[in-house]
Amino acid sequence: MRELSSIKGFGPARLRALEERGIRTAGDLLERLPAGYRDTTRPLSPAQMLPGTRACFEGFVVGTPALHRVHGRQWVSATVGDEWGSVRCMWFNQPWMKDRLRADEHVVLYGTCTQKKNGRFVINPTMEEAGKIIPVYSPVPGVGQKTLRDAVALLLSEYDEADPLSPRLRERYGLMNRQPALQEAHFPGSLAQLEKAKHRLAFEELLLFQTAVAGGAGQRSAAVPARVDEADEALFWGSLPYAPTGAQRRVAAEIRGDMEKDRAMARLVQGDVGSGKTLIAFYALWLCVKGGGQGALMAPTEILAQQHWESARAMLGKLGVSCGLLTGSMTAAERRRALEAVACGEWQVVIGTHALISEDVRYSDLRLVVTDEQHRFGVRQRTRLQEKGGGVHVLVMSATPIPRTLSLILYGDLDLSVVDEMPPGRKKVSTRIVPEEKREGMYAFIQRQAEQGRQTYVVCPTVGEEEDEEDALPVPSATARQKELQRRLPSLRVGLVHGRMGKREKEDTVLAFRQGQLDVLVATTVIEVGVNVPNATTMVIESADRFGLAQLHQLRGRVGRGAEESWCFLMAEPNERLKILQETSDGFRIAQKDLELRGAGEVFGTRQHGVPEMPALMLTNDTALLEETHRAFLEVSGDAALREEYEALQRAARRRHGSRTADAGIN
């Protein structure tokens, strides 16, 4: 396949922009399937463009378009109508549209209808040609949609790569060949052909990923058993200030059964926000220490590591277990002291961030590794920590609910435990969908909460001002929202935290919020994990419809941790999808619905910026496909007569996912 630099229009600046999005080769570009499509095969009447509708519509330009200029902003307005009705259209920062549109001219447009105080509007609709299904790619700064489409069309015309799926597999499961599937996925001839292409490419992604995970699992190594007697076991549970739930007891028993064997444990513990997974992690660490070994717990942020260390000292300290903290922000003297304590075994449990896997960290007798919020780490990081010891038990913790079928595929190398019971006393968070016209009331609520000494999170989807690729509507940014809140609620202390800030600045801001020095913390999803502030009672999520349900549920879990009633406000127009969050607080039910509505790719991929690890999965929400590909994997991998076919799959999986399964935060 040709080099990207040989494609017309791909100069150094565009190549750099593509590389920043993970597109380095022609193959990468072909694998970057469209994020969506504009279907112009069945245009609507302007009268059918109701608020929330995103579609193609056609009609005639009514009257002469007007160019407006107010306070430095400019836009073109025009009415498009037919015999059944009309809708107003507005094009911001596109003054040329005034000359492009002519009175009584027939136009085909594509856009989203929104409701304003003075009527229905379609903002920045694009002009289209009727009768096509047009791919829309995830935005790449400086590289337009037409440039991407032309490059992909060229590469498809030259495509001659071997199909990673055997003819037997394709025939058995009724799958298209790969080249036609790619062609239809990028440039569908019809919606029916698009569905077939989606199915084929998603099947391939899932099958190759399962093969890669199975190849990475290997044989479990020998390990030193950790055995405790019943008296010690009773001592641990008796030391707790509260009775554990049945689910905590059950999962603890599964872990004990694993660690009593002479074969290394490899177990995933999944539990909803607030289900008590930390207690289970501490139980495993206690078992390890009682068995004569040293344990390590790796958290994704310093704030979370600090919280775990404080909790561990309180819980395990009174049982005679010494706990230490190792992070990247330590001074040179603090680090030297910490490294000595780890190396000589003075610290029986070591809690920290990625600092735990640094070259200069030497453990005394590492026998257990616990990784918290596993979706934030890759397999390689987990493995590097395991390699610090010999025959190390592995416990993986995740508060991101994933349906069981998908867990078997994502974590094929791990045994699975589910903490499916909440401790008594955990307060339900009241959830409300708040349309824009009720923002004033919501701000008044935040003011009242602050006056009562309670705190609020405000989560935004972006850091700075950005625009949606499709309709150029401004997206609420964290920086803009902080300024607005400071202006509208001047008596409140409003902080800001996002991923582009320096690590120290970010940690200091979150710490100030934890300590009550801020009334409101405006943030991106960096606060999704690792912040435990019992005094925070309100969560506001801007543009809530841009997030998946599972992620909204995870964000909602940041409040409701104290004794006071807590609230989550979803800033969006009411819709059936968001109403699910009002109806249930069961994270697994929400995750299953999210999978059905948004597709498996949302679980595998990143949500905010960044690149989906499985682009084809972004095109499907067929949950039956998960089970179908799992059956296919078991069939090919378990039949000696299909050994050559399985080896070919393994080679294809290594080419596709060899580095991704190591680096992506999905294993």
- Per-residue pLDDT of 455-504, as tens digits, reads 999 999 887 654 444 434 456 788 989 999 999 999 999 999 987 887 77
Tally of domains within the chain: 4
The tens digit of pLDDT for each residue in 110-160 reads 999 998 888 899 999 999 988 889 998 888 888 989 999 999 999 999 998
Q: Do 488 and 344 share a domain, yes or no?
A: no
Q: Has residue 357 been placed in a domain?
A: yes
Instruction: Pull the structure tokens for residue 454.
Output: 């309670």
Report which residue type is found at 72: G
381 falls in which pLDDT band (50, 70, 90)?
A: low
Instruction: Specify the CATH number for the domain of residue 66.
Output: 2.40.50.140
Q: What is the pLDDT of residue 596?
A: 67
Q: Do 458 and 552 share a domain, yes or no?
A: yes
313 falls in which pLDDT band (50, 70, 90)?
A: very high
Alpha-carbon distances of 359 from 128, 189, 295, 328, 665, rounded to whole Å: 57, 54, 18, 13, 21
Which among 537, 364, 569 is positioned nearest to 451, based on CA atoms? 537
Q: Has residue 268 been placed in a domain?
A: no
Q: Do 561 and 459 share a domain, yes or no?
A: yes
Q: Which domain holds residue 117?
A: 42-127
Q: Do 99 and 155 share a domain, yes or no?
A: no
Q: What is the pTM of this model?
A: 0.63
Angstrom distance (rounded) from CA 365 to CA 342: 9
Q: Would you give the end-to-end CA distance of the chain in angstroms?
A: 30
For 3, what's the count of Cα atoms within 13 Å in the CB-facing half-sphere?
5
Place of tokens 């929202």: 481
Q: Do 155 and 254 share a domain, yes or no?
A: no
- Beta strand pairing status for 366-371 and 106-116? unpaired
Q: Do 490 and 379 share a domain, yes or no?
A: no
CB 548 within 8 A of CB 578: no
Does the pLDDT at position 666 exceed 50? Answer: no
Return the number of other C-beta atoms located less than 10 Å from residue 34's C-beta: 24
Q: Do 326 and 441 share a domain, yes or no?
A: no
Q: Has residue 523 been placed in a domain?
A: yes
In a 3-state reduction of DSSP, which class is residue 177?
A: coil
606 falls in which pLDDT band (50, 70, 90)?
A: very low
Does the pLDDT at position 47 exceed 50? Answer: yes
Q: Do 561 and 498 share a domain, yes or no?
A: yes
Q: Do 116 and 145 share a domain, yes or no?
A: no
In a 3-state reduction of DSSP, which class is residue 122?
A: strand
Instruction: Pull the structure tokens for residue 209.
Output: 């990923």
Backbone torsions φ then ψ of 457, nearest 5 degrees: -100, 145
Angstrom distance (rounded) from CA 374 to CA 376: 5
Query: What burial class does residue 44 get, using C-beta atoms within 10 Å of its C-beta: 0-12 exposed, 13-18 middle, 19+ buried?
Result: middle
